[in-house]
Chain A
Amino acid sequence: MSTAAVQIGAIAGRSIRRTVRQPAMAIPPILFPVALMLVNAAGLEASTLLPGFPTDSFLAFALAVPFIQGALFSTMNAGTDLARDIQTGFLNRLSLTSLRGSSLMIGQLSGIVVLGVVQACAYVVVGLLTGVHFASGAGGIAVLLVFAFIVSLGFGALGSFLALRTGSGEAVQGLFPLMFVLLFISSMNTPRDLIAVDWFRWVATVNPVSYLIECVRSLIITGWDAEALLLGFGIAVAIVVVSVALASWALTVRMTRT
């Protein structure tokens, strides 16, 4: 095995070990989105009676939300982990080894992505247990897990970028409410074409989070919707490209060594 692969494995292993040893960090990203989904589903079931609503099960409609919400938790986890490493000087320890910045970034994000995919598996299981029918079948579930992988990577890199620029876990956590607002002003609870308030419909339309949710939703309630999948994957990949580039640049600046 190459040195880079060993180093990536070492960093990823540490990231996963840290997550597993902090139940308070691993469990809420699974429980909270599910709880919010169940509450919403109970209160908003009547929405399915609206003409044009795409499904008669609000639970199936809402199941897409935890996938994105869980990924937002990834942002926070990745960021606070890295910020802690900066604050404690652990990053300096890593900088004194032959570890490459790219290996550190890949290793760190691998841990977050693994957690993101595990979360996604948990949401799928919750969906199946609550009677949600996945219209795209087993293949759709596999695509959904790939999507969760990409979204976790994108948001995880965004959290890492913030941590590297600010060096502060608090600053990273400060972004969380903003991300949450983005979730709430999306098509999270209502299909965009059924939003009656003009400004809200406009905001939901320009909000990229809407397309991430609709991509997941299409796999659950529609089947294979090429437009939703292209838009969702396109935006997710764009987030990955931009956030990984930003995080890599910030890491180069932060890991100043000659």
Chain B
Amino acid sequence: MTDNSIVAEGLVREFKKGPRAVDGIDLRVEPGEIYGFLGPNGAGKSTTVLMLTTLLPPTAGTARVAGFDVVREGPKVRATIGAALQEAALDALLTGRDHLKLQTMLQGLPKSERKGRAEELLARVGLTEAADRKVGGYSGGMKRRLDLALALVHRPRVLFLDEPTTGLDPQSRTALWEEVARLAGEEGVTVFLTTQYLEEADVLADRVGIIDHGRIVAEGRPVDLKAEIGRPSVHAIPRREEDRARIHALLGAYGEPFGEDGDLAVRLREGIGLADVVRGIDAEGVELDDVELRAPTLDDVFLAKTGRTLEGAAEGTDQAESAPRRR
């Protein structure tokens, strides 16, 4: 039976005269699972990927990918993994087809299979028509799709994707998500995906590990992590500043008030909804400029665990999840 898992224990990477980029990470990714590794820039996501893909030796700790030790069995690890690292590493002067031809040769595919595999992958990522164009003229989304195709040439059992959708338009991002989900769902490929987009981790990942300053601060299914944080909250913006204290008092009747920087917010008690809060405030004749129901997000999880919000999270936050409801 094939082992497509990723297991890391006490993984550390310390750079000379630098910080501990990765500071004792323990994680286990099950075969066929999509694991989202979420964290802000500089948290240690890419360094972890480099260690798991054998491109960077760990300073301490151990890791096994597909059953092979990343330090002692590097060639075996590389033979079983595919990786699309940060920034699509492509040659602007080569065509998409040139890239696939090169990759099939370097990955040791038999000559009889190379052309067929290249065509199959070009079709799968929707680049057949653009296959003979130089990559320098590709859009960001096309480059990312080609990058993914190149990572899949040798049918890897474990796939590492380092911020695969950074800078992509929503359409390209969705297309890539679909392909990643298909790979895990239909082909049983284990996917280790780093991202700084909350929505990406939320939508795509079976489980999420949140990393900050080189340490995993939270890990679990997105739904469980958010449930840990608690109930939804209501955030209100008064029309008149002089109503602020009154609104604060009113909100206290529906749950535990909280907030920062003058934000008026309440974490709702069990059984209380947005309508109850709106009706209650309305009944008191207080006017609001805006009122918003917020379900806990992974950003809230990050905030709860680190005291900070996730850098760059705004771009990836599901707008539907926090859409303001105006009175």
Which residues of A are interface residues toward B (Cβ below 8 A)?
3, 6-7, 9-10, 13-14, 17-18, 21-22, 85, 88-90, 92-99, 256-258
Contacts and interface: CB of A to CB of B under 8 A. Distances in A.
Contacts, number: 75
B98 A96 contact: no
A139 B156 CA distance: 53
Question: Is chain A's interface secondary structure helix, strand, loop, or mixed overall?
Answer: helix
A88 B77 CA distance: 23
B48 interface: no
Contact of B108 (A3, A88, A90, A95): A3
Contact of A6 (B53, B83, B105): B105
A89 B57 contact: no
Interface in B99-117: 101-103, 105-108
Nearest to B51: A258
Interface in B44-97: 53-57, 70-72, 74-75, 77-79, 81, 83, 85-87, 89-91, 93-94
Interface string B12-28: 00000000000000000
A111 to B, nearest CB: 12
Contacts of B102: 10, 13-14
A188 B101 CA distance: 44
Contacts of B56: 256
Contact of B75 (A6, A94, A98): A98
Contacts of A90: 89-91
A258 B106 contact: no
B105 A258 contact: no
Given A10-B106, A14-B98, A18-B93, A96 B83 contact: yes
A89 B85 contact: yes
12 contacts: A6-B105, A10-B105, A18-B93, A89-B85, A92-B89, A95-B55, A96-B54, A96-B81, A96-B83, A98-B78, A258-B54, A258-B72
Contacts of B57: 256, 258
B107 A258 contact: no
A5 to B, nearest CB: 10
B264 interface: no
B131 interface: no
CB-based closest 8 A-B pairs: A89-B89, A258-B74, A10-B105, A97-B106, A258-B54, A93-B89, A90-B89, A21-B93
Residue of B55, B90, B101 ringed by the most chain A CB atoms within 10 A: B55
B276 to A, nearest CB: 53
A12 to B, nearest CB: 11
B150 interface: yes
B85 A92 contact: yes
A6 B107 CA distance: 10
A97 B78 contact: yes
Contact of B90 (A13, A22, A88, A96): A88
B94 A14 contact: yes
Question: Is chain B's interface secondary structure helix, strand, loop, or mixed overall?
Answer: loop
Interface in B253-311: none
A13 B70 CA distance: 31
Interface in B143-185: 150
Interface of B: 53-57, 70-72, 74-75, 77-79, 81, 83, 85-87, 89-91, 93-94, 98, 101-103, 105-108, 134, 150
A18 B94 contact: yes
Contacts of B94: 14, 17-18
A88 B136 CA distance: 13
A257 B55 contact: yes
B111 to A, nearest CB: 8
Given A14-B91, A97-B106, A258 B85 contact: no
Given A90-B91, A97-B78, 15 more contacts: A7-B105, A7-B106, A9-B105, A14-B98, A17-B98, A89-B89, A90-B89, A96-B78, A98-B108, A256-B55, A256-B56, A258-B54, A258-B70, A258-B72, A258-B74
Contacts of B90: 88, 90
A98 B108 CA distance: 8
A112 to B, nearest CB: 16
A258 B71 contact: yes
Contacts of A22: 93
B231 to A, nearest CB: 44
A18 B134 CA distance: 11
Given A10-B106, A22-B93, A99-B106, A93 B150 contact: yes
Given A89-B85, A256-B55, A257-B55, A18 B91 contact: yes
Nearest to A98: B108
Contacts of A94: 106
Contacts of A88: 87, 89-91
B26 to A, nearest CB: 20
Contacts of B53: 96
A98 B78 CA distance: 7
A253 to B, nearest CB: 13
Given A17-B98, A256-B56, A257-B78, A97 B93 contact: no
